[in-house]
């Protein structure tokens, strides 16, 4: 298939969250048929609720700064599925994506014909297998691998990594991962392997207990971000700088905005130190990180900031950013989300901070209708717009001092980037 056909087939497999099939038997069988490409890779495996994408991006950037040929696997994508599989920081070409899809799809069809698997691999399983093929073919020196959903039964959890990283655990996808923080943490802890070192970000106490118990059971040597100290922290709307003291003494400049990114940079730096990366490369790599769609400023006057705050923890991080830097500015919020998200909680966190709220819908089948949001949310200056373009038209009168935030879903952020960045 060509690239458009492969993408169409992947989308036809169904939404990767709604059609998630937990279990490793299917992906293991497919990878076996492909020659187990994952076995020859040196990997860092990351799980967590929030911050794992940013943390992975920082780790990959620093590894690349040290001259390592890197592979990076993340999800979801913003514009194109090929963004999920990167070599040396760049999405793989469309032709390479299509070729990898063909190989995986052919292996799946053979297994189906032989009755060796029950049904076709899901969207996420298929792209995961494709990523392992590409990384092996490209001879990546180190792969940074982000889990998709959970960890224990996530399709990525067929690897034996050099290091495991667990970013903050919080509530998201409760219908699949459990209603309590403890049950969610247990799923994330499922990536830990016997004796394989791990780095834990700062955690809420309930999650920390679960992670520590699992680490003890598997004799995992743990390095904890809580044991390192941040000094001389300077926060700005465009990022942060600080000194990180622990086993190393590092001067970190983080170009990703938001106080929560300080924690992500700390976790990334500690993980890199655990891998033996030199101080200078850690510092240069984190300083050079690019991670679009997360408190990304795409216009200055007025300021327009895009942020994929798609769960309550993300909403709290965005709210803290607004409170710190925009409390004295007129804030206008364009918001659109998926139906399966904690809408009432997230809007309750964000909407009171905005002078004007415009609710719209991403171009996705699971998007919550703006009219539904209007009916369940109370705000004195709330209006609806059928599309993001219509919503942006409603803020065309923005004054230079206004701050416009587009948030609620990465799908909406992707649309905004296409319209505003190109």
Helix (H) or strand (E) holding 203: none
- Residue 174 reports pLDDT greater than 80: no
pLDDT at 87: 98
Chain segment 72-82, per-residue pLDDT in tens: 999 989 989 99
Selection from 339, 347, 355, 365 nearest residue 309 by Cα: 347
pLDDT at 342: 80
pLDDT at 22: 64
pLDDT at 21: 59
The C-alpha angle with vertex 83 and arms to 94 and 290, in degrees rounded to 5, equals: 135
Based on DSSP, count helices (H) and strands (E) in the chain, helices before strands: 15, 17
High-pLDDT (> 90) share of the chain, %: 82
CB 74 within 8 A of CB 57: yes
pLDDT at 178: 59
pLDDT at 315: 94
Chain segment 87-138, per-residue pLDDT in tens: 999 999 999 999 999 999 999 999 999 999 988 999 999 999 999 999 999 9
Is pLDDT larger for residue 278 or for residue 371? 278
Query: Which tokens sit at 416?
Result: 């905004």
pLDDT at 361: 92
Chain segment 26-44, per-residue pLDDT in tens: 999 999 999 999 999 999 9
Which pLDDT band, with edges at 50, 70 and 90, does 228 fall under? very high
- Residue 173 reports pLDDT greater than 60: no
Chain segment 252-297, per-residue pLDDT in tens: 999 999 999 999 999 999 999 999 999 999 999 999 999 999 999 9
Of the listed ranges 67-71, 212-216, 293-297, 363-367, the one predicted with least confidence: 363-367
The rounded distance, in Å, linking the Cα atoms of 186 and 87 is 31
Which pLDDT band, with edges at 50, 70 and 90, does 341 fall under? confident
Selection from 15, 6, 33, 14 nearest residue 97 by Cα: 6
pLDDT at 281: 98
Domains plus CATH for the chain?
3-287 (3.40.1190.10), 296-420 (3.90.190.20)
Query: Structure pTM?
Result: 0.93
């Amino acid at each position: 298939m060509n690239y458009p056909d492969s993408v169409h087939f992947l989308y036809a497999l169904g939404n990767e969250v709604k059609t998630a099939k937990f279990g490793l038997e299917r992906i293991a069988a497919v990878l076996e048929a492909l020659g187990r490409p994952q076995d020859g890779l040196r990997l860092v495996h990351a799980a967590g609720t929030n911050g794992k994408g940013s943390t992975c991006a920082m780790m990959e950037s620093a590894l690349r700064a040290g001259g390592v040929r890197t592979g990076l696997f993340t999800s979801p994508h913003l514009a194109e599925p090929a963004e999920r599989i990167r070599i040396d920081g760049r999405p793989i070409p469309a032709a390479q994506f299509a070729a990898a899809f063909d190989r995986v799809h052919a292996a799946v069809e053979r297994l189906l014909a032989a009755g060796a698997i029950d049904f076709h691999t899901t969207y996420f399983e298929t792209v995961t297998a494709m990523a392992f093929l590409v990384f092996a073919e490209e001879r990546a020196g180190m792969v940074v691998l982000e889990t998709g959903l959970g960890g224990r039964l996530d399709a990525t959890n067929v690897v034996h990594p050099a290091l495991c990283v667990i970013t903050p655990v919080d509530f998201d996808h409760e219908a699949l991962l459990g209603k309590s923080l403890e049950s969610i943490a247990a799923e994330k802890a499922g990536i830990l392997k016997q004796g394989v070192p791990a780095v834990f970000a700062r955690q809420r106490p309930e999650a920390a207990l679960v992670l520590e118990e699992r680490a003890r059971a598997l004799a995992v040597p743990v390095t904890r971000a809580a044991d390192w100290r941040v000094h001389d922290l300077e926060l700005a709307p465009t990022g942060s700088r600080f000194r990180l003291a622990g086993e190393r003494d590092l001067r970190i400049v983080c170009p990703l905005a938001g106080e929560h990114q300080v924690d992500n940079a700390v976790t990334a730096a500690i993980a890199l130190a655990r891998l033996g990366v030199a101080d200078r490369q850690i510092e240069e790599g984190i300083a050079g990180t690019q991670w679009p769609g997360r408190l990304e400023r795409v216009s200055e006057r007025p300021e327009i900031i895009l942020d994929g705050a798609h769960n309550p923890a993300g909403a709290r991080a965005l709210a803290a950013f607004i409170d710190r830097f925009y409390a004295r500015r007129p804030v206008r919020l364009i918001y659109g989300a998926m139906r399966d998200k904690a809408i009432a909680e997230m809007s309750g966190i964000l909407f009171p901070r905005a002078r004007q709220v415009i609710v719209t819908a991403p171009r996705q089948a699971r998007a919550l209708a703006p009219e539904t949001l209007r009916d369940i949310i109370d705000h004195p200056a709330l209006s609806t717009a059928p599309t993001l373009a219509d919503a942006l038209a409603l803020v065309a009168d923005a004054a230079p001092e206004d701050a416009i935030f587009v948030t609620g879903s990465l799908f909406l952020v992707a649309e905004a980037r296409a319209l505003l960045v190109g």
